[in-house]
Amino acid sequence: MKHLRTRLAAVLLTALMVVVCVVPSFAVSRTYRNYAVLGDSIPTGYMLPGYKFAGKKTALWPVVPGSYPEYVKKGVRATNIYMMAHSGYRTADIRRVLDPSYKGDYFNGRRLPTYPDSMEVNEAQLRQLRSQVVNYIAKSDLITLNIGGNDVFQFLLILRDMINEDLIAIEDLQNLPALPLDATLRDVRQLAGNSETLYRILEMELTSIQDFHTHFDAVVRRIHEINPRAKLVVLGVYNPIDVLRFGPVSANVLVEPVVESFNAYYRTGCKYRNYYQFVPLRDIDTYVGTGQLFVNPEQPVDIHPTKNGHRQIAQQILAAL
């Protein structure tokens, strides 16, 4: 009997050690029943096993195992989690979803519901999406907002998409005798439309920081209007390459000023600063930061957090709570 108790104690101790290894080290004293997640591809768990693009029209995306929202949900002992972050979202996209008075910008159609074969936002589908998102925000008592990086770097992804689109259109036109007229016109429109998009990209980059300030303020204000009782936590922009070096040279001197400009605005610049708690993110493991430069064939030098990076983000959120 004594040996049985000893073995049972050893099994329980082993199980406890496993739990400690899986769940972040911090726990909060308050329980948050409903947890809403807003943001871009970082909270969606992009690059983690199990990630899947869930579509523009879907309000709730799946929570990817090992992503920081999963850890935060466990840490605050939430019953429900509303994953409303979408890959590629900028502050202008979240603002368009939340604020019916905002008419949007040229690029909203790349991330929001559109008509078939078009980049024009489908207003009816957008209203349905808005209704769902507003409803989930209103239910929540904890909300994390992780947004901003795409406001400056989104142009790289749009350029990549444009190049792929143009290559397909050019290849089609080279096979012109075999194409029906409607396909030919579609390809010509594609090339002409991307010429305008290139101009709009340059325009967007020139005003990106000021536009970010305007959109971020509007998003924070709108969340507060929908649910003034919820705990809103705004996450800072982390430096994805702060540990990456090329011999004696560090690229950190180029990236850190941009990162700090965002964090300074979150910290003190926003006119609705008293509506949220700011959590700066430091020393987050990313694929590029850990030297995994080509792990993502679609996006070399990937700045997204690794699985350990997600644990670090969750720990910093829970520590702040």
Interatomic CA distance for residues 164 and 96, integer angstroms: 27
pLDDT in tens, 52-81: 999 999 999 999 999 999 999 999 999 999
Strand partners, 35: 81, 142
Interatomic CA distance for residues 238 and 316, integer angstroms: 12
Q: 3-state class of 71 per DSSP?
A: helix
The alpha carbon of residue 5 and the mean position of all alpha carbons in its chain are separated, in whole angstroms, by 49
Q: Tally DSSP H helices, then E strands, for the chain.
A: 10, 7
- Indicate the pTM of the whole model: 0.78
- Is residue 308 within a helix (H) or strand (E), and if so which, with residue range? helix 307-320
pLDDT of residue 161: 60
pLDDT of residue 18: 38
Per-residue pLDDT of the chain (321 residues; tens, 9 = 90+): 445 444 444 444 434 333 334 445 566 778 999 999 999 999 999 999 999 999 999 999 999 999 999 999 999 999 999 999 999 999 999 999 999 999 998 889 989 999 998 889 999 999 999 999 999 999 999 999 999 888 866 555 555 565 555 555 545 545 555 545 444 445 445 444 555 555 455 555 556 677 889 999 999 999 999 999 999 999 999 887 665 555 555 556 666 777 888 899 999 999 999 999 999 998 899 887 777 777 887 776 788 999 999 999 999 999 999
DSSP label at 188?
A: H
Q: 3-state class of 318 per DSSP?
A: helix
Strand partners, 38: 145
**Domains of the chain, with CATH numbers?**
24-151+210-320 (3.40.50.1110)
